[in-house]
Chain A
Amino acid sequence: MLASIVNPLILGISIGSILLISALGLAVIYGAAGVINMAHGEFIMLGAYSTYTLQSTMGMPFLLCIPCAFFIVGIIGFVIERNLICYLYNRPLDTLLATWGVSLVLMQSSRLIFGSDVKYIAMPEFLSTNLELGILNFSTFRLFLIAVALILLFITWFIFYRTRLGIKIRAVTQNKEMAASFGINAAQVYSITFAFGAGLAGAAGAMFGALSIVLPTMGMHYVVEAFLMVVTGGGSILGTVFASTLAGEIQSIFAFIFNDTMARGLLFILIVVLLRFRPQGLLSTGSGRR
């Protein structure tokens, strides 16, 4: 009896951590730079293909692939920001279209390079086992997802709140002119932030490629949920964490009562209803940007 209550709750946290991993990079880029990045799903896809390539050509162990995917996609993000996005700040509609274009280009390029057949990422043995603790039973990969979500969240928190770069990022977010008036190069801060957000998506891709399959179109699946979490949370990183955990739990509980499809449907309906009455999201700072 107890197990049938606790197991769905743990499952909920792991669903929540998947949602968080997929949304974190998007929240960083939107929250700090104000860019709605439609190519976020493709950054996730690139992370998955990076992992696949590193694994199949060099035999790199999976755990090492995650930080590598972070850096590879981070660098790709940096190049895209320097050559395209940096000309479009303060023009949200144009960035929306431009990043959508980027997403199409990335998707087709990976189709040309890797083909449109399904690829798989091999997981280390210890992640494909089940763990039994008394009455509780869960897969180690689920636990691993939760751990990765917490690590990525900690790294993000540390950079934002414990480093000089973090003060710079938060200063530029609050008041770009004032930040510049005190010697902060806003363009540089935006580039680094965008690269960091892209890197987070890359790490997410490594995880999701292993969790399910690697396909050129896989990004579309994750980007919708990522956007929902950021919007439901109110656009901030903390809000995204909150929304992801809550949504994960709700989905898991509904799935326990009904079934998976029903649970996702009900969750989406709940989000729509929530946004109808609280369009600013769960946690909102209430202040306009810039």
Chain B
Amino acid sequence: MFLKLDSISSYYGNTKILREVSFEVPEGSCLCVLGRNGVGKTTLLKTIMGLMDKTTGRIELHGNDINSKRTDERAKFGIGYIPQGRQILSKFTVRENIMLGTFARKDVVKEVPEICVDLFPYLKDNLDRKAGLLSGGQQQQLAIARALAVDPQILLLDEPTEGIQPNIVTEIGETLQMLNKKLGITVILTEQHIKMARKLGDNFIMMDNGKIEASGPIMELTDEVVEKHMTV
């Protein structure tokens, strides 16, 4: 198994957010994490990255227990993180943002990796632009490019389509599908759009109140399941 979480609980201060979450992600698959706002989807990804105050349980990546490792050490196992709100460094240029991703690589590269700019022509033409000046969709592309600069084995995407104009949503969806299916990069994706989840996902987990309420192959993500856990 590529990534395995074993009864993971995690905390902000003393407040328990995730409650004994366990699941497995096979290599090269795409897992969609679903649920309403505030059920712990973002926390789940932050927990894998080691950005929570305290986490108990076991997180295994390629057979290594990474839960005892610092965030920067985890990144070097080949995790590309695309956080909620994108978190582009706005004072950096596009080039510097992408170069930031290369610090998690094992090899030292001096230039922007080709894949990052080949996928997003806009970034290629604007490498020396301040990233803070980019539009939301462009920043999202930059966030994906930055994560790809890691040369990742797994991508963690936190609502990549949130607040982005529809034509770019389709584009990002196609890019992710290509990365997952053609390049074999394992993907964990939190999503509000059920359509997107059905298109990209191999498996899903449905979360509520910090726990997994339902899970399985994406075929089992029926309208009843969605209705039960996601309507407000």
Contacts and interface: CB of A to CB of B under 8 A. Distances in A.
Interface residues of A, number: 18
13 contacts: A174-B89, A175-B87, A178-B83, A178-B89, A181-B71, A181-B72, A181-B75, A182-B72, A182-B81, A182-B101, A182-B104, A183-B75, A184-B72
Contact of A183 (B72, B91, B92): B72
Contacts of A184: 72, 100, 103
B89 A183 contact: no
A40 interface: no
A96 interface: no
Interface stretch (A117-125, A165-173, A244-252): A165-173
Interface string A270-281: 000000000000
A116 interface: no
Nearest to B49: A181
Main secondary structure of the interface of B (DSSP, over half): loop
Interface in A141-185: 164, 167-168, 170-171, 174-175, 177-185
Interface of B: 49-51, 70-72, 75-76, 81, 83, 87, 89-92, 96, 99-101, 103-105, 146, 150
A183 B96 CA distance: 15
Contacts of A285: 91
B81 A181 contact: yes
A239 to B, nearest CB: 14
B100 A179 contact: yes
Contacts of B83: 178, 181
A182 B150 contact: yes
Contact of B75 (A168, A174, A180): A180
A220 interface: no
Contact of B150 (A168, A171, A183): A183
Nearest to A285: B91
Contact of B96 (A167, A177, A185): A167
Contacts of A185: 70, 72
B91 A170 contact: yes
A175 B50 CA distance: 15
A186 interface: yes
Contacts of A175: 87, 89
A285 B89 CA distance: 14
Contacts of A177: 51, 71, 87
B100 A167 contact: yes
A185 B76 CA distance: 11
Contacts of A183: 72, 75-76, 103-105, 150
A214 B102 CA distance: 47
A28 to B, nearest CB: 17
Nearest to B71: A180
Contacts of B103: 164, 167-168, 182-184
